[in-house]
Every structure is written in structure tokens, then in C-alpha cells.
Amino acid sequence: MKKTLFISFLLILILPACIPSGEPKQESKSIQYPFQDPSLPIKERAKDLVSRLTLEEKVQQMMYNAPAIERLGIPAYPWWSECLHGVARAGKATVFPQAIGMAASFDPDLISRIASAIGDEGRAFFHAADKRGNRLQYGGLTFWTPNINIFRDPRWGRGQETYGEDPWLTGTLGSAFVKGLQGDNPHYLKAAACAKHFAVHSGPEALRHGFNAVVSMQDMNETYLPAFKKLVEAGVEGVMCAYNRTNDEPCCGNTFLLQEKLRKEWKFNGYITSDCWALVDFYEGHKVVKNAVEAAALALKRGVNLNCGSVYYPSLVDAVKQGLVKEQEVDSALVQLFLTRFRLGLFDPASKVPYAKTPESIIHNQEHKALAREAARKSIVLLKNKNNVLPLKKDTRYVYVVGPNATNAEVLLGNYYGVSDNLNTILAGIAAKVPPGCFIQYKQGCLLDRENINPIDWTTAEAKQADATIAVMGLSGNLEGEEGESIASATKGDRLDIGLPANQVNFLKKLREGNTKPIIVIVTGGGPVAMPEVEELADAILFVWYPGEEGGNAVGDILYGDAFPSGRLPVTFPRSVDQLPPFEDYSMNGRTYRFMEKEPLYPFGFGLSYTTFSFSDIRLSSNQLQKGKNLQVKVSVTNSGKREAEEVVQLYVKPPKASFRVPFASLRGVKRVLLAPGEKQDVEFTLTPEDLSVVDEKGNLVQIEGTYEIVVGESSPSPRSEALGAATPVMGKIHIM
């Protein structure tokens, strides 16, 4: 009895200290082990920590849900977190436009500001959750973002997660995201970014667990790897290897990718994680090993530090016992993981870590909401504006809103999204602009992807009475995305038919029949939509992607002229799937604006404005250039219209012909300039030797002799761009000796 009372008394003393109070934890001033000493180099600290673990503890720390080691005061840590366009799958957060929408801004500064805001929210949430003893999955500071795979084929449902089809743009925007997310402190990371999925990974989703992407060294180094190299140079902390095989080796066991390129050639010094449950594909999908033990051993030897999965890296205990790997190899891989945790300040007193002071009030604050609205505005692409029907006048007498996505909050999100209490649907954004006394009516009119069951149609007749009809059509994340995410997709998230659902096109035809008043079509989606019929039926077309929580307000701003459209297409929109090579073919021949010979519906880089721009007076620093020298380019841009607007000035390099395939043109510079009506401004670019180089058939970057064309305009250089209304570009020539 006395013993029981004594234990009860101890519990009374101890329990209050164990219950999360919401107050900051007191910092311990005692240092028992070298790894707890912030004055020591972090590599020394990481090695000390690892030396104190048993083999079983070591391999558990190499899992995405690393458990606590209480005897050393090491807390549990959830490695797997997401923030593709806002902190995802955790607490309330600001939801920015989907990645492909952010890419349509062609604005690295905007991407950096968004990523910085995401990092702030991630930090604040992490510490708030930690106070409550909450270390659930998706609550860490190691974010598995950005996805910098090349959107080589419009059928890939996950293309929405990328920055488009161009390696230069992808690398530029991805680097801006990494720097914004990770912060600029010389000692600590705000959060840790992760470049994924390394490498040569872009569908088909249904085959990814056993698919072998066969790619030439030219395509490898010209298209699939440059963005990853740029992010390594930008200091990205992590890299995630992909599910598929590349040239016969699983990406998470690939000697060329992980060892020769990433570690040796590029000197990457961060951590490598597998994609989630990718190691089971080693023996179930790719069949390159017999079991989990061999899979774990292969991944470790190729350089994978962290296993996202449930049962595979614990098999390293048996792999060591069987002599497949050495315990020293486990130690080396684990030290790399702890280096990341030390860089995040997770073993240091909060007083030493500046990001640990991030206030909870920063989460979803007014500044971040305004940033989400700015991003959504800059992502929206005006594809058509017949007779300048847009912007609508504020006092338009009667607006009729129809379509399956007008009230659909799902289309604001895309995939890998966060949760917000501020989801502004497109209908709400339009309604917010309509003044008292002006009419607005809404009926859905048609379903998302199938014909109406009820044959009674009130909508198309009523629409004829309105002064303008706004049809909100397109796709949703239920139709396209990752294999398990797209619950309405029969093809595991891919779009084998890249057009609008046929019932939506049929509905638009009914709206148009006998109706001479403007029909404005707003299209949601995560990638290219082949819609030549919509181009014919609509008076104006806005492509709005998955525009985030402020998407509805941004659409309203654009429709009514409170903001100007300035988004540009980061992907080519084909006329039909017939213009595409086979989905499983990873050769770049015939793909993207750089190699596509057929005329697309909408070219890469295209987007209209509410004003017009003109380009003139291109000046090159030289008309003959020695190899290895920089080239300065200056061009004059004029707002030749009647509205203030921002122009997205794009510079493309067209190389001379060679004995091997070269791109028709390659984007090498982007500048945004805000111009008042009649205003003229000079825009300058610097082209490096790398910008003026091409990749030969062996995969080598070479600067060939001959005449290069430097083209500056507002879209990729093609007759189709000008036919759709893009300004005539200007061109200069440089001969490289």
C-alpha cells in the first residue's frame, strides 16, 4: 500500500510536466554528449550521435517516420512533409495556385516570395504542433517539394505538379522556390526542400512501378537532368529518386543517376530519399532483386539515405548479418540524414535558431492571402479575346454564369493541397464584382464529365437573355493527378484523351446555338487541353489552372478589369492527341516547342493581354563572339495600347544547324516589365556560354560554330503565336567562332 501511494505521489509530480501546455518548452542548459553541443561542427555532432546508436536504432532512424530514442533525448521526427503550393496535408495553411499555375507567371521573384511564405508557415506550424506533442506525418520541416520533372507529354496527370515542359524555366523557377523555402541564414535552414523525382519520370502513372524509361544521353542531358543540376547548384537539401527504371536500372538503385551524376559530378551533399514504397518495386515491379533484404542493400549501396516505406530499411539489420552491406555504410548514410536535422536546428536551443521564433500568427495571414491572390492573377492566361469583349464593364446589365466548375471548390486545389477556410470559388469571385442593380444568375447546366441524365434543359435558353454568359468548364483533380488521388479517373490519373469532356463541348454548342452575345469560357485544369472547338465557340477564353484559395477573386479581378491578364503557357497546347508521339516513348523527338514540328493550338509562352506591346531596336554587344564569352542583349519594349499592363518579355536562342539534332529554339531569359500606355522601356539580358550551347548526341554540352539567332518577344517564336495575336518578335544574329 505504501509503495502504491509513493508511486501515485510521483505521478502527481511528473504528469503536469508531460501534458502539453501550449507554452514554449524550457531549454536544457546541460550538455551530456558532444552531439548536443552547438559550438561543435555539425558533422562532428552527427557522427557522435550515430556512434551512440545500436544497429537496430540506426536503421529505424533511416525511415520516414523516425521514432524517438528516449535514452539520448532524441525526439521522433516525421520526414515526409509536403508543400507543393502551400503547406499540405497538415494544419490550416495558405493555398497558392498549383505549381503549373505558378509556372505560368514566368516570375522567379514571385515563386521565391511564395516559397518563403510557405517556409514561414511550415516553421510556425511545426513549432506549434511540437508544443502539443504532435509529431504526426506531414508535420516536419523536410518538405518533398518541388517536382521538377519535365512535363513532356500532356497526358501525364501529375504534370500539374511541375513547372512545365522547358528545362530552363523549370530550373529557374525551381531554384527560386528552393532558395525561398530554405531561407538565407548561413547556419540554419528555414525548411528543407527536395527535388523530385530523380529522374526521367513523367508517366504513364499506371506503369510507374515497373516501367523502364529508355532515354538517350542527348535527351538525358538536354532535357531531363538540367533542372536537377540547377537545383543542386542552388543548394537543395534533398533529392527524391523515382519509382521507375531509367535505362534498365531502378532510379532508387541507379548507378549513373545517384552516384555518377548526383554525388560525383554535381557534388551533391544533401540527403537522398526513395519515393514512397519504391523499394518494394525492386522485387515486385522491376524484379532486379529477390526480396526486401536485397532491395534495402541495393538502395543503400547506390546512395539512398532515407526509405519512405514501411518495412524495407529495417531489413538492413539482416543485410549486415548476411554480409550484403557493412555497418559502416549504414553509419555513413545516417550521418547525412542527421546533418539535415542539425541544419534545421532541431538539436539546438531555440534561442540559437532564428526560425524557431516564427510566430503562429504568420499562418494564413492577410499578407499571404494577398500573395495568393497576386499569384492567381499572374497565373491566368488569356487565350482569346475576340473584339475585346474582356474586360467586362462593371455595369454589365445581366451576367449568366454556368458550368460544372463555377461552384466547385475542388478545382481551386489541384493535388498535394493544404486546407483553408478561405476557398473563394469562381462564382463567388464573379459575384463579388457585380454591383447592386445588375443581374447575375447561376445554373450549373451540365455535369463535369458525363451527359445530364435529366433531358430538361432550362439553362441554354435562359443564357440567351443575358448580356454575357460565363461558362466555367474544364477538369478537376478527381479526373487527373496521381494514381491514387484521381478517384474519377479510369486511367490512374492520366488523360489519354486530352480534350475537354465531350459533354462539356456539347453543352457549349447548345449555348452558342442562336446566341450572338458574348460567351466567355473559363477553363480549369492542370495541363494542356486540346480544345479547338472551344476556340471556335467562345468569344473569350481564360485558362486558370487550379488557382488556389484566392482563385475565384483573381478570376473576378481579371474579368472585370481590376487586374490585367499576364500569364503565359509553360506548356504547349496541341490540337489533339494525334499530334503526340506514343506516351511510353521518352525520346524528345516531336515533343514540346523545342522539337515539335506540327502546329499546336496554343504555343509555349503564349498569352494575350488587355493592351498591346511592341518590340524594337534589338542590340547585341557583338555580332561575332569567341567561344566561352558572354553576350549582352538589349531590346526596347513599348506598351502600344491603352491600358497599363505587365509584359512578359521572353528571349529565345535558335542555334545553327549541326550534324546532330538541335532544338528549334530554347528559352534563355524572362523579364517582367510594368508599362503605362505609351511607355517604352529597355530590357537587358546576359547570355552565358552555356545559354549559347547545345547538347550533342553523346550528351556533351558543346558550343558549335555558326550563326545563332536571338529572338525576343512575348511567346515562343512561331507563325502560330503571331496568328493568335502575339506581338511580332525582334531578332538579332550572333556568329560564334
Give the gyration radius of the chain's Cα atoms: 27
Alpha helices in 592-669, H assignment, sequence order: 592-595
Task: Based on the residue annotation, tell me whether 480 is a catalytic residue of this protein.
Answer: yes
Torsion sign (Cα): 176, 178, 181, 187: negative
Catalytic residue among 480, 483, 494, 539: 480
In Å, what is the CA distance from 292 to each residue of 273, 297, 490? 17, 9, 31
Do 155 and 204 contact (CB within 8 A), yes or no?
yes
> Bridge partners of 701?
695
Query: Which residue type sits at 722?
Result: E
Task: Based on the residue annotation, tell me whether 165 is a catalytic residue of this protein.
Answer: no
Do 418 and 86 contact (CB within 8 A), yes or no?
yes
Do 401 and 552 contact (CB within 8 A), yes or no?
no
How many angstroms separate the CA atoms of 321 and 318, rounded?
Answer: 5
Query: Which residue type sits at 476?
Result: S
Ramachandran assignment for 91, one of left (phi > 0), alpha (psi -120 to 50 degrees), beta (any other): beta
Give the number of residues written for the chain: 737
Do 103 and 163 contact (CB within 8 A), yes or no?
yes
In degrees and rounded to multiples of 5, residue 137 shows phi and psi of -55, 145
Number of DSSP helices (H) and strands (E) in the chain, helices first: 20, 24
Quote the crossing angle between the two packed helices 327-343 and 292-302, to the nearest 10°.
Answer: 60
Do 479 and 412 contact (CB within 8 A), yes or no?
no
Catalytic residue among 249, 275, 374, 557: 275
Query: Which residue type sits at 660?
Result: F
How many angstroms separate the CA atoms of 323 and 304, rounded?
Answer: 18
Q: Is the peptide bond before 431 cis (omega within 30 degrees of 0)?
A: no
Quote the crossing angle between the two packed helices 108-131 and 366-379, to the nearest 10°.
Answer: 140
**Which residues are tagged catalytic?**
275, 480
